[in-house]
Chains A and B, each alone.
Chain A
């Protein structure tokens, strides 16, 4: 019959990755059930998205990433179109002060999530040209342009968090892809100066000198850096109003910190968290952007470490896959996905412990939300895809 030795093939599935993903999904389902005060409908919806996501990810595994990459430009421009469309009244649904969704009734489609994936594809595809070409400033400029376009569109929604995530993804992909470091250093340096100026401007400059930011964005930054809302020349009345506003704005962060901190070492137990149950942690955000607070309160530092460990496994599996990829395209895809996931994890958990300002960025697979779950799983599927086809010539 078959000679087992002939049939022996290198592993096709990256098991640690799959197991970590399953772990995260279980954690997610259980936590969302708790965060929604035992709301089965919401929990089942999330589980449904897990199922749909796993299906989509499997589909993405079936087609070799090379073939997929051929459609990257189409995908990219489609998402750009959607990002434009979402800004148009009547198409984009206006919720929570931003136009980020396209409402399909049963599903609030969030194009920015998919734009991130499309961007990774198109960037990987673009950067997998000969190394010599990458040294050309023209190419660098093009790569940069491809990053900036969705960045600006998402910024316009406004969704600063999602927009900002694109920058590290793009930069790291260029770095790994082989764009000369001096270009990147200049770029990063320039951006650093720009961000510093921006922060100084927002935090310290008088009102009419400031760059126009959305009020909520300015407030979030002020909250994060612990600055007074009131301008220096404010009257006592204004100052009082500003203080009240500040209290309101700092509320989420404060409550998230109390949740996380009061969890202590081992937590209060599943569904025993009071911050969420008593409504201090607003119900509207407890199961999505602030799901980590609920997890940390109920499972303590031990649970937090568990979550971090699962993400560590996912991220380092990704890096391993990048290292083993057959070609630059595969490597860049993997790196892009890893940086994307890492940025989400870092920003989201960071904002729960006041390391980062509050931005509406979901925690991959744990936060409630169809678009986010779908994209996270497809991203993981891409990793698996790169791993699977590392040797098929």
Chain B
């Protein structure tokens, strides 16, 4: 080095000093290289850890629309007032000085005073706000301390769900206080309240613990909701979209300094149902016409393809009550053991079908040749099976198939059921997929119960063999059988459409909230046929004919008749017995219309009704009237979207 050469050769000591200094400087240089270049990443990470907080920003939830894109579930603006702590720092300081005065405090006393000071400043502000808003505001010291300790950088929510006049009052009086901020939060909104509540489901506050797809560890999550049941749950991922990420720069005291949006939230998609809102509403009205708290279910289905046009279960919850938080009183109401509003009675509960099961028995008998439609049987008004006598609700007299079906003669069907044999009845039932779930994406499907050969054998092994009495019971839809109204709708549709057993469809498509212009972005769910019945079409025609007679020829379902609709149906009244004593009745009406080329299937089930014909048929009639009106209205206005849907 230059300087070394310049030093006199003899000046050994000075050279030594120079070398020592050079060594020292080199040490620093190496140290700096190590810190700033080699391990820089580690320190950048530390820096980010201490000065950035990631905040999860939920996206706007997609809507659930009916087939005509009327919103069944949407979003509305919730007005909240949030408090920003960093805006109060000056106020904290001043108050702190005042309180401390000239006292000498040790460190922990200072911290404590600091906290109480902050709480007091905020609490005064909250008091003022409370006066302006004319509403008490719950704000406790514990709440503040927790927030201050963990989320100093995040706004502290003070008031939520402001009334419009409160919004106005706030803007007039307090909007100049920089620490208080009026913010809009989108919340789920079900404009028709209980309408289609079971299909839609409801939301609950999401804690995000099961969000395994999210790899980012968030310091803070803005409130987010997730679907608990129904479409909201089944398509939660699609509806929810993906949450955005916001990064908040915080200073050494934890106060917010600035924010950057790292990923904007991606709005959720819309789910378009097959439901038709006017029909759904009419069906609900009809089901509740007798009693607003009727326990029952009603389904309107497109007989040709299985599109569910209305799906009603009563009583129904109001999904609006679940967000932001459900009240304990309402929860009490929802868990009433008799009403059970949360149960979807159309798909999520199974009942004895009663006489409507005679459709299956009749078809089994016709196919087996054990029922001869022209054969006439004398009915004494009862039938003896083994040593048991079963009374017939139909009057004594001469019965052919048609009359037996219309009058729902138990004697006729028990006798022919026994003739046909349990094997054939069970095999016919399985062609209708009884005892199997319909797998609607409402996540409320039960299989019901339908005996299988294995089950019968198992029961025999347990000392409970299948007897003629059991076959007799099954022949009139009682005993070892439980079905859901939806299964009955599928059954009726199969009879009506000539043998297609469909998968009911309730979701048509999923689309982006703002369509990109081309249709490809939509996810379409086509109609699906589950299986073919594979029976003689004339036999199906016979049953359709009999069903028409049930409504139009003074049969048990005559109350369902609507002029010009050619309604065809079958009534059912199942008895629920406990220890041989009648405790309840399940009443049914399954139907389709029009007779010539079936379009609509209407199934009505009412618990504790009087009888299928007396309770359910009138409900079905109202529904058919509404459908007729709807058709007329639609023909007058715009092209038939109902019929054109796929």
A6 close to chain B: CB less than 8 A: no
Beta-carbon contact of A339 and B17 below 8 Å = yes
Is A316 in contact with B14, judged by CB distance below 8 angstroms?
no
Contact A304:B43 (CB < 8 A) given known A280-B51, A346-B24: no
- Cross-chain contact A264 with B8 (CB below 8 angstroms): no
B39: chain A residues within 8 A (beta carbon)? 261
Is the C-beta of B3 less than 8 angstroms from some C-beta in chain A? yes
Instruction: Assess whether A353 is in contact with B31, with CB atoms less than 8 Å apart.
Output: yes
Q: Which residues of B sit under 8 angstroms from A319, Cβ to Cβ? A: 3, 7, 14, 17-18, 21
Q: Which residues of A contact B43 (CB under 8 A)?
A: 257-258, 260-262
Contacts of B35 in A (CB 8 A): 257, 260-261, 353
Instruction: Check if B532 is an interface residue, CB within 8 A of chain A.
Output: no
Bound together, the chains give a CA A34 to CA B346 distance in angstroms of: 71
A316 to B15, CA, bound (A): 11
Q: How far, in Å, is B128 (CB) from chain A's closest CB?
A: 30
Interface residue A124 (Cβ < 8 Å from any Cβ of B): no
**Smallest beta-carbon distance A37→chain B, Å:** 12
Q: Within the assembled complex, what's the spacing in Å between the Cα atoms of A150 and B549?
A: 122
* Interface mask (A322-354 → B, CB under 8 Å = 1, otherwise 0): 111000000100010011001001100110010
Q: Is the CB of A278 within 8 A of B21?
A: no
CB of A263 closer than 8 Å to a CB of B: yes
Report the Cα distance A349→B28, complex, angstroms.
Answer: 7
Answer yes or no: A189 CB below 8 A from chain B CBs. Answer: no
Chain A residues with CB below 8 A from B251, complex form: 278-280
Partner of A304, one of B21, B36, B44: B36
Contacts of B46 in A (CB 8 A): 258, 261-262
CB-defined contacts of B42 to chain A, threshold 8 Å: 261
Partner of A301, one of B6, B14, B18, B37: B37
A320 at the interface (CB under 8 A from B): yes
Compute how far the CA of A319 lies from the CA of B13 in the bound complex, rounded to whole angstroms: 11
A261 interface neighbour in B24, B40, B50, B257, Cβ under 8 Å: B40
Indicate if the CB atoms of A279 and B47 lie closer than 8 Å.
no
Check A312 for interface membership: any CB of B closer than 8 A: yes
Is A320 a contact of B36 with CB atoms below 8 Å? Answer: no
A315 within 8 A of B: yes
> Shortest Cβ distance from A9 into chain B, in angstroms?
19
Per-residue A-contact encoding for B1-19, CB less than 8 Å = 1, 0 else = 1010011100101101110
Q: Is B434 an interface residue (CB 8 A)?
A: no
- With A176-B14, A176-B17, A261-B40 already in contact, the answer to whether A308 and B25 are too (CB < 8 A) is yes
B39, closest chain A residue (CB): A261
Chain B CB within 8 A of A370 CB: no
A296–B35 CA distance with the chains assembled, in angstroms: 10
Interface code A238-269, partner B: CB below 8 Å = 1, 0 otherwise? 00000000000000000001101111110000
Q: Which residues of B contact A324 (CB under 8 A)?
A: 6
Query: Once the chains bind, are A320 and B28 in contact (CB under 8 Å)?
Result: no
One digit per residue, 1 when the CB lies within 8 angstroms of any chain A CB and 0 when it does not, for chain B 500-533 equals 0000000000000000000000000000000000
Given A319-B18, A323-B7, A308 and B29 contact (CB-CB distance below 8 Å) = yes
- The chain B residue sitting closest to A172, CB to CB, is B17
- Chain B residues closer than 8 Å to A350, beta-carbon distance: 28, 31
* Contacting pair A262 B40 (CB below 8 A): yes
A335 to B250, CA, bound (A): 48
8 A Cβ contacts from B30-71 to A: 31-37, 39-40, 42-44, 46-47, 50-51
Judge if B252 is at the interface, Cβ distance under 8 Å. yes
**Quick check: is B182 within 8 A (CB to CB) of the other chain?**
no
Contact: A279 with B252, CB < 8 Å?
A: yes
Residues in A146-172 with C-beta less than 8 Å from chain B = 172
A275 CB–B CB distance under 8 Å: yes
Beyond A262-B40, A279-B252, A280-B51, whether A323 also contacts B32 by CB under 8 A is no
Q: Decide if B253 is an interface residue (CB 8 Å cutoff).
A: yes
State A335–B14 Cα separation when bound (angstroms).
8
Most buried by A among B3, B18, B28, B32: B32
CB-contact partner of A264 in B3, B37, B250, under 8 A: B37
Q: What is the number of residues of chain A that contact chain B, defined by CB distance less than 8 Å? A: 42
Nearest Cβ on chain A to B255's Cβ, whole angstroms: 9
Residues of the B chain whose Cβ atoms lie less than 8 Å from the Cβ of A172: 17
Asked if A311 and B25 sit within 8 Å, CB to CB, the answer is yes
A179–B224 Cα distance when bound, in Å, is 79
Chain B contacts of A265 at CB under 8 A?
36-37, 40
Name the contact of B32 in the complex, choosing from A304, A322, A345 (C-beta under 8 A).
A304
- Tell me whether A274 and B14 are in contact (CB under 8 A): no
Q: Flag if A278 contacts B14 (CB, 8 Å).
A: no
Min CB distance, B33 to chain A, in Å? 6
- Which of A280, A323, A355 interacts with B28 by CB under 8 Å? A355
* B121 close to chain A: CB less than 8 A: no
- Asked if A312 and B32 sit within 8 Å, CB to CB, the answer is no
Chain A: CB-nearest residue to B52:
A274
Nearest Cβ on chain B to A249's Cβ, whole angstroms: 13
B334 proximal to A (CB < 8 A):
no
B562 interfacial contact with A, CB 8 Å:
no
Complex contacts, B28 vs chain A, CB 8 Å: 308, 345-346, 349-350, 353, 355
- B335 beta carbon closer than 8 Å to chain A: no
A300 at the interface (CB under 8 A from B): yes
Q: Is B167 an interface residue (CB 8 A)?
A: no
Q: Which of A169-207 touch B at CB < 8 Å?
A: 172, 175-176
Q: How far is the CA of A86 from the CA of B486 in the complex (A)?
A: 96
B104-162, CB < 8 A from A? none
Verify B33–A301 contact, CB threshold 8 A.
yes
Q: By the criterion CB–CB under 8 Å, are A338 and B17 in contact?
A: yes
* Cβ contact of B18, chosen from A262, A304, A316, cutoff 8 A: A316
CB distance from B17 to the nearest CB of A (A): 6
- Tell me whether A131 is interfacial, beta carbon within 8 Å: no
Q: Does residue A88 face the partner (Cβ distance < 8 Å to B)?
A: no
Q: Is the CB of A323 within 8 A of B17?
A: no
In the assembled complex, the CB of B104 is this many whole angstroms from the nearest CB of chain A, namely 14
**Does B457 interact with chain A (Cβ within 8 Å)?**
no
Q: Is B565 an interface residue (CB 8 A)?
A: no
A residues within 8 A CB of B31?
350, 353, 355
Are B37 and A175 in contact, CB atoms less than 8 angstroms apart?
no
For residue A305, CB closer than 8 A to chain B, the reply is: yes
Contact of B13 among A176, A258, A320 (CB under 8 A): A176
A305 and B249: CB pair below 8 A? no
B27 within 8 A of partner (CB): yes
Given known pairs A319-B7, A342-B21, A342-B24, the reply for A263 and B50 (CB within 8 Å) is no
Given contacts A278-B257, A279-B251, contact A323 B8 (CB under 8 A): yes
For residue A301, which residues in chain B have a CB less than 8 angstroms away from its CB?
A: 32-33, 36-37
- In the complex, what distance in Å separates the CA atom of A346 from the CA atom of B25? 7
Give CA–CA (A338, B32) in the complex, Å: 22
Measured between beta carbons, the chain B residues less than 8 angstroms from A308 are 25, 28-29, 32
Q: How far is the CB of B111 from chain A (nearest CB, A)?
A: 11
Chain B residues contacting A355 (CB-CB under 8 Å) are: 27-28, 31
CB distance from A324 to the nearest CB of B (A): 8
Expressed in whole angstroms, the Cα–Cα distance for A304 and B13 within the complex equals 29
Residues of B with C-beta under 8 A to A353: 28, 31-32, 34-35
Most A-side CB within 10 Å, residue of B3, B33, B250 = B3
Jot down 28 A-B pairs with beta carbons below 8 A, ordered by A.
A176-B17, A257-B43, A260-B35, A262-B46, A264-B36, A264-B40, A274-B47, A279-B252, A279-B253, A280-B252, A301-B32, A308-B28, A308-B32, A315-B25, A316-B1, A319-B7, A319-B17, A320-B3, A323-B7, A323-B14, A335-B14, A338-B17, A342-B21, A342-B25, A345-B25, A346-B27, A350-B28, A350-B31
- Lowest 6 A-B CB distances belong to which pairs? A261-B43, A279-B252, A278-B251, A301-B36, A264-B40, A323-B7
- Known: A308-B28, A339-B21, A355-B27; 13 extra A-B contacts, CB below 8 A, are A258-B47, A260-B35, A261-B36, A262-B46, A278-B51, A304-B36, A305-B29, A308-B25, A315-B21, A323-B7, A339-B17, A350-B31, A355-B31
User: B residues engaging A (CB < 8 A)?
Assistant: 1, 3, 6-8, 11, 13-14, 16-18, 21, 24-25, 27-29, 31-37, 39-40, 42-44, 46-47, 50-51, 249-253, 257
